[in-house]
Structure 1
């Protein structure tokens, strides 16, 4: 019997319909979703049955280190793009964001367990350290030609484990595959010297390489229709203080930051899970950004790990990922990291300004009207008309359905 993964996409859909997992209508929808070339989609995912498409929004003119970046964001949430755009505008009024990225490095671990003499084993590995560099170079010579590769080896005892920590320069790639290839080669060599196989050889998603972005704002530029800028600035600083003492607030504070970052990471073909894991390990229930009032100015700062690349893997395979990179002017990892950190900072600024002023729901729900209209079944021009009618109503699906029914009834009478 042919296994599911050996079937074509069309055959998989046919089988799912036959077994009752999908309706014929659902299968037809999956067949129609063809944003990617079929061969690309089928080779980027196992058991591929269709494609899941997200809108690609754009944050205009994000000012970072004197350069305006056009940042593509793959997200279904319009308020995320709107908030980031507003934050970029506010930063632009105040001289822009300054950002710096640490040298791009990835750490891999080769760990041995249950060795009879940890001290002696550690001595063996240290004695072979020069050979480990040779093994790493032979495992991935192309990265060495680009100036990357294994840069540092540290051998430590962690309770009953012996750990080789490999610091690797992946050049302009994110570096997961490069690091894992080097780690497995080092593990094989080290295992032969210790006469025992390694327990594990893989990169860690924790990262000590941080990207930092800062912005200084004149409170007057933060004014809303109903609040003076000085009041807004004071409340933003207070909200920041709250996030530092309240883990529950810190989680939402950081989620707002990651709204923009993850959408931009996805748009550039990078691994959103790797970024989320690195940020989670680093934050430890602390806010990623801090806002303080200093000599009458509101100063914002963010520091976080951003394990991304500008070449390799899905970045090169997904047709729109290189477009997003070219659109933003992201030719190096450092430039992308700096823009992502700046994006997170201005996203956070816009969210805190809304919380400090009219509240988060007013703008969010106004932008949700289109989604509610479509969920109610509106199509074509109906979406705009129902969304407009919703602005004076409760933003609820039942209300959207009622308005759509009224619109269609009226249109029928006028025909």
Structure 2
């Protein structure tokens, strides 16, 4: 792959941007043509019920990313202005000091079987005695995982106290390989339910995975250049902004929303279950009993910002949406990720980059200046500007500091 540090990528026209992405990711002509249409109605109709059409969102490319020494162009699907540009600038600040170092742990996903009416004392012993049969039954659900040396690894029990009395919970821990894992884990939970009922004397009711994958984590860290952040004064303010997010839940929620701007944009582009990712991330932010920042920030002796992000991250490069959505498969190819772990490393790096960008904007000129400058094009278009007029109207409003529908209409009407 060529370098992801492409000067003035945002100034190039669409044809040149696509040419550069094709060159970087080794796309074929047929793959590049997918960027013109997304998915057909026939494809959408197979994916969901009662389909009536498709809904398009912008697909952008964040540049400058280096993840574990590998140059990466990062696809991002998001409707919010400034996110793609901000992530690219943040990656440039990290690139000076080697880019992002990221790691994903083994792809372990828990499945849960809720058991009602069991004798709690005897049930745990029954499960221990039947554990081999439970694991064998679960692994019979997927010959693919078994051949790869993956699959259900462990079965455990725990008691959960509730308002209606104690419940027994049987949990399978499954190595799902390069899949997100929902379908195979759910199938395993349903398959082992009869074995569990015989072993416990209770009734297996809920049989489903948990999206809170605390044993399937992704972590990224990077050193962001202090001079690119704006110097010692801005760096100090960024640290104080992080400290506020660490100790105030109201700030932490918006702080973590910025992290998700990066993570979910890449997840959306690559066909991941963004709802599961976001739910797990927010639960992880509250794992201490108090909701707090997902990221950690400090300042090194040279005045640079050192940041890290750790979160549960279940993603897949096989199966699920990636098997039926051609553009999602194409976006995975753009990242150069050859496994779910490598894709997780790209996603968590994008989340850390976006958090840096948000902290910097808040601590310097404020979040709205850059955001509204990019939003001006939407305002101009909504006011009725033609494609040839949009950039001129947007630039004039930004120059005047009056980005509003009223001013856009005035400029369109002329003197």
TM-score tier (shorter): 0.7 to 0.9
- Which aligned pairs between 1:302-341 and structure 2 lie closer than 5 A? 302-341=309-348
1:195 deviates by 4.2
- 1:207/1:282 contact within 8 Å kept: no
1:393 deviates by 4.1
- 2:113/2:208 contact within 8 Å kept: yes
- 1:34/1:50 contact within 8 Å kept: no
- 1:140/1:181 contact within 8 Å kept: no
Match of 1:103 among 88, 103, 106: 106
Match of 1:64 among 43, 48, 67: 67
- 1:93/1:221 contact within 8 Å kept: no
- 2:317/2:339 contact within 8 Å kept: yes
- 2:223/2:307 contact within 8 Å kept: yes
Match of 1:350 among 341, 349, 357: 357
Counterpart for residue 411 of structure 2: 403
Cα-to-partner distance string for 1:381-405 (whole Å, 9 max, x where unaligned): 1222222222124112222222223
Q: Structure 1: which 5+ residue stretches go unaligned?
A: 1-32, 224-228, 411-415
Counterpart for residue 208 of structure 2: 202
Number of residue pairs the alignment of both structures matches: 369
The reply on whether 1:369 has 2:371 as its aligned counterpart is no
Counterpart for residue 13 of structure 1: none
- 2:116/2:203 contact within 8 Å kept: no
C-alpha separation in 1, matches of 2:254 and 2:412: 34
Cα-to-partner distance string for 1:38-72 (whole Å, 9 max, x where unaligned): 22110111111111001110011311111111110
- 2:41/2:54 contact within 8 Å kept: no
Counterpart for residue 140 of structure 1: 142
C-alpha separation in 1, matches of 2:385 and 2:331: 31
43-52 or 393-402: bigger deviation: 393-402
Match of 2:76 among 73, 87, 103: 73
C-alpha separation in 2, matches of 1:353 and 1:231: 11
- Which aligned pairs between 1:132-171 and structure 2 lie closer than 5 A? 132-159=134-161, 160-171=166-177
> Do the aligned partners of residues 186 and 171 (structure 1) sit closer, same or farther apart at CA in structure 2, a change above 3 Å counting?
same
Cα-to-partner distance string for 1:150-181 (whole Å, 9 max, x where unaligned): 01111222231111111101110100001100
**Alignment partner of 2:292: what SS?**
coil
Cα-to-partner distance string for 1:321-371 (whole Å, 9 max, x where unaligned): 111111110111111111111111111111111111111111000000111
Bigger CA radius of gyration: 1
1:218 deviates by 4.0
- 2:178/2:316 contact within 8 Å kept: yes
1:108 deviates by 0.7
C-alpha separation in 1, matches of 2:375 and 2:110: 41
Q: Structure 2: which 5+ residue stretches go unaligned?
A: 1-35
C-alpha separation in 2, matches of 1:280 and 1:290: 15
**Alignment partner of 1:242: what SS?**
helix
- 1:62/1:68 contact within 8 Å kept: yes
288-297 or 188-197: bigger deviation: 188-197
- 1:214/1:300 contact within 8 Å kept: yes
- 1:73/1:264 contact within 8 Å kept: yes
* TM-score (norm: length of structure 2): 0.86
Counterpart for residue 295 of structure 1: 301
- 1:34/1:51 contact within 8 Å kept: no
Counterpart for residue 241 of structure 2: 239
Counterpart for residue 383 of structure 1: 390
1:189 deviates by 2.0
Counterpart for residue 38 of structure 1: 41
- 2:116/2:202 contact within 8 Å kept: no
Counterpart for residue 3 of structure 2: none
* Poorly superposed stretches of 4+, deviation over 4 Å: none
**Alignment partner of 1:377: what SS?**
coil
**Alignment partner of 1:290: what SS?**
strand
Cα-to-partner distance string for 1:88-113 (whole Å, 9 max, x where unaligned): 11111122111111111111101102
Counterpart for residue 130 of structure 1: 132
